Each structure stands twice: as C-alpha cells, then as structure tokens.
C-alpha cells in the first residue's frame, strides 16, 4: 500500500498539480535573493560608516584641516554612493516582493548593478586620492591594518556585485 501511495504521489507531483513540500518556487527564490542583497548592502553601508567614523576619531588629530576636509568629503561621497546602491537594491526587492513583471525587476536589477559600478569607481578614485595623505600620517602597522580592512571590505563588496549580477541574469527577459 505504501509503495502504491508513493507512486501515486510521484505521478501527482510530476504532473505539476502539487509541488513537494520542500520545493521552493522560482519567485520565492528570487524574493529571497533580492532581500538578501538588500540586507547585505544595508549591512555593508552601516559597517563601512562605522569603520570610517572610527578612523576619523582615532586619527583626526594627525591631519591638517585641509586633509581632514578631504577625508570627510571622501566619507560623505562613499556614503552617498552606498545610499544610492541601497535604494536601488531596495527597489529591486520591493518589485520582486510585489510580484512585478520580470522585465521591471530586471530593469531595477540593472540599475542596482549600475549603482554598484559607480560605487566601485568612486571607491577606487577616492582610495587613490587619499593614499598619499594616509601614507604620510599612519605608521606601518596602522597602514597594514587599514589595508586589511580595505581588502576585507572589497571582498564583501565584490560578493554584493556577484549577487546583483545573478539577480539581473535570472530576471533577464526570455529566461
């Protein structure tokens, strides 16, 4: 009897009338992925702001007023680019959760990718412009520590970029 029930259940599942209890729909997976990306960006932004604030508090006395202004401007610019990315990923998540069309979600995901690319460019430019200032004001140990923080943040940020790319690919029209 058990074998008959199992066979009957397999036929019903295969027919598409019922999904197995552990099956996750593509829409649910997409919603989970967009929410994860949104949360990862928000966490990244918060973490980076805290890290940059700690640097400013710890080392600000070593910088001239113009250098301090450059550091503050860099921090503001970085936060602005991350805020734009946070808003773009939140929009993608909102559309996915609202059951919007695949093309609408795809366009939002592509915009999130563009925001990500702008943030990468801004971070690279900022790092290059601040490096001479920091090189003269930090000890070798402090510089290595800052580089370790930067490398770790960059790896986390690259993971976010990969998430956004996967979402855009999954929502590409015709897929």
User: Which pLDDT tens digit goes with each residue over 93-132?
Assistant: 999 999 999 999 999 999 999 999 999 998 888 888 888 8
Calculate the average pLDDT of the chain.
84
Q: For the chain, how many structural domains are there in total? A: 1
Q: Would you place residue 175 in the very low, low, confident or very high pLDDT band (cuts 50, 70, 90)?
A: low
Which pair of structure tokens corresponds to residue 23?
């099956």
DSSP state of 174: T
Residue 49 forms part of a structural domain:
yes
Residue 39 forms part of a structural domain:
yes
Residue 15 forms part of a structural domain:
no
Residue 48 forms part of a structural domain:
yes
Residue 104 forms part of a structural domain:
yes
Q: Would you place residue 41 in the very low, low, confident or very high pLDDT band (cuts 50, 70, 90)?
A: very high
| Domain limits for position 146 | 30-57+64-170
Q: Would you place residue 25 in the very low, low, confident or very high pLDDT band (cuts 50, 70, 90)?
A: low
Residue position matching structure tokens 């993971």: 159
> How far apart are the C-alpha atoms of 34 and 142, rounded to whole Å?
37
Cβ–Cβ under 8 Å, residues 108 and 88: yes
Residue 18 forms part of a structural domain:
no
Residue 2 forms part of a structural domain:
no
Cβ-proximal residues to 169 (8 Å cutoff; 6+ apart), any chain: 175
Within 10 Å of residue 142's Cβ, how many Cβ atoms? Answer: 15
Q: Is the pTM of this model over 0.85?
A: no
The rounded percent of the chain whose pLDDT value lies above 90 is 47
| pLDDT for the residue 165 | 95
Average pLDDT on 52-57 reads: 85
Cβ–Cβ under 8 Å, residues 116 and 164: yes
> How far apart are the C-alpha atoms of 107 and 101, rounded to whole Å?
10
Most confident of 17-26, 110-119, 141-150: 110-119
Average pLDDT on 18-44 reads: 76
Residue 24 forms part of a structural domain:
no
pLDDT tops 50 at residue 53: yes
The rounded percent of the chain whose pLDDT value lies above 70 is 84
């Amino acid at each position: 009897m058990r074998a008959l029930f199992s066979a009957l259940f397999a036929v019903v599942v295969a027919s598409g009338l019922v999904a197995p209890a552990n099956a996750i729909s593509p829409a649910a997976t997409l919603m989970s992925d967009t929410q994860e990306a949104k949360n990862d960006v928000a966490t990244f932004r918060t973490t980076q702001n805290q890290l940059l604030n700690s640097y400013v508090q710890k080392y600000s006395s070593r910088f001239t007023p113009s250098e301090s202004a450059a550091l503050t401007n860099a921090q503001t610019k970085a936060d602005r680019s991350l805020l734009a990315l946070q808003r773009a990923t939140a929009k993608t998540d909102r559309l996915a959760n609202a059951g919007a069309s695949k093309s609408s979600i795809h366009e939002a995901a592509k915009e999130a990718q563009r925001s990500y690319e702008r943030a990468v460019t801004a971070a690279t430019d900022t790092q290059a412009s601040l490096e001479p200032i920091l090189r003269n004001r930090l000890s070798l140990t402090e510089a290595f520590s800052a580089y370790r923080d930067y490398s770790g943040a960059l790896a986390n940020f690259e993971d976010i970029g990969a998430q956004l790319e996967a979402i855009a690919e999954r929502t590409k029209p015709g897929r």
